[in-house]
Amino acid sequence: MHLQTMSFVTGAAKNLAKAGARPISTSVARHAIHNNITETIGRTPVVKINRLAPAGIDLYAKLEYFNPLSSVKDRLAIAIIEHGERTGKIKPGSTIIEATSGNTGIALAMVCAQRGYKFVATMAASFSIERRKVMRALGASVIITPAPLGGTGMVKKAEELAEKHGWHLARQFETEANADYHAQTTGPEILSDFAGKRLDYWVTGYGTGGTFAGAGRVIKQARPDTQIVLSEPKAAPLLTSGIPQPRKEVLGQFGAPESGHPSWTPHPIQGWTPNFIPYVLEQGLEKKLHAEVLTVDGNEAMSTALALAKHEGIFTGTSGGATMATALEVCKKAPQGSTVLCMIPDTADRYLSTPLFGAIDVEMDEAEVAICNSTPLGAAE
């Protein structure tokens, strides 16, 4: 391992220990015994892309759906709860509330269930029903807000309910705990996995921007030659528009969106790019961590997600397909011999009722019927 990389991994482990969290492991413990489900968060695998990658490029994916509730947001949830506990803002009997497109809410519902807290999610009606059911199965209450109000609508509802009932507002889009946890875990994991190896490009999308701002700053400090590529939907080019995000103070903390961003329009990449620029993301942008921002089409994101499933056995949602589609664009212009790593945020199970699976039939097609009829036992009526 490079000395500089080693120092960053060791330093992050010390920071986690001071914070009372479990230390970073440089290897994945496949058969470890854990005290509770939250101890299984992190240390997700990096997998090589073999059939979709262009010749002469080493393309890899970090599969965040190996977290216990199948998304990168498990890291955010434990970060929020542990930070609240350390600062005394979350205590026995507390109720936590947050606006979510689904994955953060599912992750917070898991952590709250394990810790014995109540959790309330506010979620726009446009997000998949699977996410509502999973959160409710984990004991959460889910408050649905009008779809036309988008991300700012569900955020405002969470703010109102927190103030009305005295609940702890998680603030995933503003809290410093978000990026800090990725700087202490996700970034060092990547540096450890690629120690002694090339890492020319790191590609990620953004929801809150925590992965980019946290892991990005650690990667950039340890390996300044690594180019960080950020991606957003073509239908919602908030960053590439160059238009700043209006902000306000809520419950004594600055950074919440004052209004929706004018460059946002509805897009199918759930979990990516709410209708405002998150404050956590903006702080990462101010550090100039990224080399460029690329946009990706929603249909291309979905087709790439299905290609990953069919040709690589990687079962990811539309956001994972979007990140991989961006990474494949990076591969096209990368010099021969380059190494590209992209983030895969979640599993495709969260998208079964969305357009991602619109062309996947439940009934047998003609080829399947022919196979069935090739032996005496016929098809089911």
The residues annotated as belonging to the active site are 73, 319
Is residue 128 within 8 A of residue 109, CB to CB? The reply is no
Question: In whole angstroms, what is the distance from residue 84 CA to residue 114 CA?
Answer: 15
